[in-house]
């Protein structure tokens, strides 16, 4: 079939090869090589404080020594329940140096959700924020019997002026201590641990349409491969880049961003609260980033800020966006602020470390496309009916891929693993659950998640396509499309649109706006795609990583 010929290769930048050599070493060794070579370079900026790579190496060595003293090593899991703070980076590197794997817990998880993940991944150590310890973990700590060590830390602990650290209250059957007090107690003497590419590195949890979250097991080989793929693609300059990202590190996209930055000795501006737009603007103004990485919703928030529009973006090489569709009009508006040809859309998922496709860094990009498959990646689009028959170029189907970045499987879930990782032509392919198409130049367009695709009168309606067109109406600040059960036709759905009004329309009667939107939709969309119901909301609900929370909208 056509996908075997890799039509996307003709769209590669001239300095990118179809296949690249990927070293056979662990992520731990990769990071330590970078730290050793750039000891004096600033690793991170955080709330006015800074840390060099040499200091990060020392603190991580102390944390690794602590883990060894507590009996942890290869095969054990350290869970992290923090926002983007220096403590998170120390924990990642320290855990890897001890041979442990890392599992990130979203700070917005409810107590029972925390317990589920901690028990499912078998975490023995939990590093958590003081307010999360008090408000969530302490009440259910007895249900997480496997967690024996709890380290508590505060948002301001890394600042030089802080000398007293929150330590949490005692818990039966567990040792509870202050994170920074522990670092001071142990010497910078990490154990000598040998890791190979098949050892678990990150256990990252991802939600599904049904059932509890699944832990994707990403090996050291998976992570090294994806970091190398992305580095070769973007041609990053080691030891020279400055990154600003609002992606939370507990999410795989944010974890990948911070991993790449450390591997390439890039200085990171850590953003503990991505909704604090003024803080992000200040960091950009102070540190002049070369690379910005955010979800579309955060870029839209920044673009609405007058101070962001006034910034000097002459140092900025790229803006990268992923994890959710970016309205085409929004991309054009962003490039009008930061400069032309700087926007790079990407696509991937937790199970692929995460990147599968990226727009060319220096050559021709296509607005609205999520790019072309990375080097060393095989890719094809298959029928939504049987999950196997390849669809012709230009037609929609499920996007599937094979490559070194594809996960080992889901932890403790063999059936889910078998469903996601299927054998085609003797190779293991990741079935992404995303619906999309490929054009003649090999560019991929994600039209929807399979779970977000609607069926109306026998026709497929891709919610992201409809949302993208409706974003062109000035009344819409944000919107989200869902399908409702049709009582008259069980095999069909009713299209409903949720709208967050733009400031310019805040005083206009909702009935008038609704009439405008219906008329606009009828002009731009096929009849079966036109929303039948429009509901105005004060704010479109978002997940902890800045995606539109359609699950909560469906519950309404």
Q: What is the number of structural domains in the chain?
A: 3
Percent of the chain with pLDDT over 70: 98
Instruction: Give the tens place of pLDDT for each residue, 437-449.
Output: 999 999 999 887 7
Largest Cα separation within the chain, whole Å, is 70
Q: Could you tell me if 488 and 479 are in contact, meaning their C-beta atoms sit under 8 angstroms apart?
A: no
Domain that holds residue 118: 52-195
Same domain, 368 and 385: yes
Instruction: Give the tens place of pLDDT for each residue, 509-544.
Output: 999 999 999 999 999 888 889 999 999 999 999 876
Same domain, 483 and 362: no
- The answer to whether position 45 is within a domain reads no
pLDDT in the model for residue 209: 45
pLDDT in the model for residue 542: 82
Same domain, 226 and 353: yes
Q: Is 137 helix (H, G, I), strand (E, B) or coil?
A: helix
Element counts in the chain: helices (H) and strands (E): 17, 27
Q: Is 375 helix (H, G, I), strand (E, B) or coil?
A: coil
Mean pLDDT of the 369-387 span: 95
Instruction: Give the tens place of pLDDT for each residue, 414-426.
Output: 999 999 999 998 9
Instruction: State the alpha helices, DSSP H only, in 98-206.
Output: 111-121, 130-132, 138-140, 179-185
pLDDT in the model for residue 526: 82
What CATH number corresponds to the domain at position 126? 3.40.50.980
The average confidence (pLDDT) of the chain is: 94
What CATH number corresponds to the domain at position 262? 3.40.50.12780
Same domain, 462 and 440: no
Is the pLDDT assigned to residue 208 strictly greater than 70? no
Gap between the terminal Cα atoms of the chain: 44
- The answer to whether position 412 is within a domain reads yes
Percent of the chain with pLDDT over 90: 82
State how beta strands 175-178 and 125-129 pair. unpaired
Q: Decide which of 148, 170, 195 is a domain's last residue.
A: 195
Comparison of pLDDT for 418 and 322, the residue scoring more: 418
Question: Which secondary-structure segment (H or E) carries 463?
Answer: helix 463-470
pLDDT in the model for residue 229: 98
Same domain, 472 and 382: no
pTM value is 0.86
Q: Could you tell me if 159 and 115 are in contact, meaning their C-beta atoms sit under 8 angstroms apart?
A: no
Q: Decide which of 431, 448, 465 is a domain's last residue.
A: 448
Same domain, 395 and 433: yes
pLDDT in the model for residue 283: 98
Calpha distance 406→491 (Å, rounded): 35
Comparison of pLDDT for 502 and 454, the residue scoring more: 502
**Exposure class string for 40-49: b at 16+ Cβ within 10 A, else e:** ebbbbbbeee
Mean pLDDT of the 207-224 span: 84
Q: Decide which of 429, 448, 467 is a domain's last residue.
A: 448
Nearest to 359 by CA among 349, 351, 350, 348: 348
Mean pLDDT of the 225-233 span: 97
Instruction: Give the tens place of pLDDT for each residue, 254-281.
Output: 999 999 999 999 999 999 999 899 999 9
């Amino acid at each position: 079939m056509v996908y075997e010929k890799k039509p996307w290769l003709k769209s590669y930048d001239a300095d990118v090869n179809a296949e690249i050599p990927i070293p056979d070493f662990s992520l731990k060794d990769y990071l330590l090589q970078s730290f050793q070579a750039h000891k004096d370079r600033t690793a991170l900026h955080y709330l006015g404080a800074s840390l060099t790579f040499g200091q990060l190496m020392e603190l991580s060595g102390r944390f690794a020594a602590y883990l060894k003293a507590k009996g942890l090593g290869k095969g054990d899991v350290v869970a992290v329940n923090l926002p983007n703070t220096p403590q998170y980076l120390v924990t990642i590197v320290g855990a890897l140096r001890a041979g442990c794997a890392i599992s990130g817990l979203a700070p917005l998880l409810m107590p029972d959700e925390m317990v589920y993940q901690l028990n499912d991944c078998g975490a023995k150590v939990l590093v958590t924020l003081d307010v999360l310890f008090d408000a969530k973990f302490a009440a259910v700590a007895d249900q997480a019997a496997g967690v024996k060590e709890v380290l508590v830390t505060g948002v301001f602990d890394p600042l030089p002026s802080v000398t007293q650290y929150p330590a949490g209250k005692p818990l039966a059957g567990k040792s509870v201590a202050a994170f920074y007090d522990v670092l001071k107690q142990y010497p910078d003497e990490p154990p000598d641990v040998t890791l190979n590419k098949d050892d678990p590195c990150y256990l990252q949890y991802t939600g599904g349409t049904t059932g509890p979250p699944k832990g994707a097991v990403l090996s050291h080989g998976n992570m090294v491969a994806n970091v190398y793929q992305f580095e070769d693609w973007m041609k990053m300059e080691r030891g020279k880049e400055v990154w600003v990202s609002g992606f939370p590190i507990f999410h795989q996209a944010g974890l990948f961003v911070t991993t790449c930055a450390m591997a390439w000795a890039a200085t990171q501006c850590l953003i503990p609260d991505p909704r604090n737009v003024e803080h992000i603007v200040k960091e950009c103004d102070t540190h002049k980033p070369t690379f910005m990485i955010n979800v579309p919703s955060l870029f839209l928030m920044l673009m609405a800020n007058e101070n962001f529009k006034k910034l000097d973006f002459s140092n900025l090489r790229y803006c990268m966006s992923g994890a959710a569709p970016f309205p085409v009009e929004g991309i054009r508006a962003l490039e009008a602020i930061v400069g032309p040809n700087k926007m790079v859309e990407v696509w991937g998922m937790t199970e692929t470390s995460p990147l599968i496709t990226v727009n060319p860094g220096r050559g021709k990009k296509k607005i609205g496309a999520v790019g072309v498959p990375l080097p060393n990646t095989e890719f094809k689009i298959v029928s939504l009916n049987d999950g196997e028959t390849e669809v012709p170029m230009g037609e929609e189907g499920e996007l599937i891929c094979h490559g070194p970045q594809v996960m080992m499987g889901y932890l403790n879930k063999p059936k889910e693993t078998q469903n996601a990782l299927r054998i085609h032509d003797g190779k293991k392919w990741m079935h992404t659950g995303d619906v999309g198409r490929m054009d003649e130049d090999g560019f991929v367009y994600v039209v929807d998640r399979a779970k977000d695709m609607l069926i109306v009168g026998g026709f497929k309606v891709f919610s992201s396509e409809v949302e993208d067109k409706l974003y062109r109406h000035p009344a819409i600040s944000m919107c989200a499309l869902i399908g409702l059960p049709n009582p008259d036709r069980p095999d069909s759905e009713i299209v409903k649109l949720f709208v967050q009004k733009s400031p310019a329309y805040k005083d206009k009667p909702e009935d008038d706006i609704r009439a405008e939107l219906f008329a606009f939709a009828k002009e731009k969309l096929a009849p079966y795609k036109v929303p039948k119901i429009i509901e105005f909301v004060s704010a479109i609900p978002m997940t902890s990583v800045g995606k539109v929370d359609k699950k909560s909208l469906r519950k309404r």
